[in-house]
Amino acid sequence: MKKKTIYTDEPIGKIKVVKDFLPKPEDLVFREDNVKVTLSLSRQSLDFFKEQAKLNRTQYQKMIRRLLDVYVTNQKA
């Protein structure tokens, strides 16, 4: 068990104010220009992505989208 902290009414010493360096919450949101499409996949492919997404705690659609983005980037190079 941890030792309990006992606070006293003593001077803290010299205090330095730290400038706020964290980004705004809206700057943390990564938005892409996505377009909805209907796509037929084989059961084998879909099951694979769903299984991997579950293991990695993400969405299978994001994994498929990322895979296609990497493929396109490599093909453009």
Would you say residue 25 has pLDDT above 90? no
CA 71/CA 67 separation, integer angstroms: 6
pLDDT of residue 1: 64
3-state class of 10 per DSSP?
coil
Angle at the Cα of 52 from the Cα atoms of 48 and 58, rounded to 5 degrees:
130
Does the pTM of the predicted model rise above 0.85?
A: no
Cα dihedral sign for 46, 48, 52, 55?
A: positive
pLDDT of residue 64: 95
Domain ranges of the chain: 44-77
